[in-house]
Amino acid sequence: MPPLPDWRFDLHQGNVSYVWENRCVRKESEQAMIPLNKFKRFDVREMIREGVEPFPFIRERVNGLPAGEGLIIVAPFLPSPLIEKLGSEGFASKVERGSGADWLVYFWREAD
C-alpha cells in the first residue's frame, strides 16, 4: 500500500484551532495568537546540523520573553517534545510547515 500523502486542514472556531494532519487531529491552542510583529525568530537548523543541542538556547530566549511577545522556532523537524514541554509551562503554540522539511513553531503567552 502506498503511503498517504501529506495534508493539513485547519478549522478555527473562536480562539481554538484544530489541525488535521495525516489522520491525526489535535487542538492547537486555546489562546488567541499575538500579532506577528511581536515574535522574535530563532533558527536552530544550523545548530542541529552541527550536532549542538538547541534546547538551552531556546530556554534562555523563552525565559526572557515578556508577556505579549513570542518566539518562532525554525527547525528541520517537528519538535514535538519542545511543544509539549513549553505547553506544560503555559505557552500556546501554532505549528506551520515551512519549506522542504522545515517547521515553524510559534510560542507565546497572552498579555496580562
* Strand ranges inside the chain, DSSP E: 8-13, 16-21, 24-29, 39-43, 70-75, 92-97, 103-108
Q: How confident is the model at residue 7 (pLDDT cuts 50, 70, 90)?
A: very low
Could you tell me the residue range of the domain that residue 100 belongs to? 32-108
- 39 in a domain, yes or no? yes
CATH code for the domain in which residue 38 is found = 3.30.110.40
Number of C-beta neighbours around residue 33 at 10 A:
18
pLDDT digit string, tens, across residues 26-70: 444 456 889 999 999 999 999 999 999 999 999 999 999 988 899
- 51 in a domain, yes or no? yes
- 52 in a domain, yes or no? yes
pTM beyond 0.85: no
Whether the pLDDT of residue 21 is over 90: the answer is no
Domain count, the chain: 1
Q: Report the sign of the C-alpha dihedral through residues 80, 108, 61, 8, in that order.
A: positive
pLDDT average, residue stretch 72-77: 96
Partners of residue 106 on adjacent β-strands: 72, 94
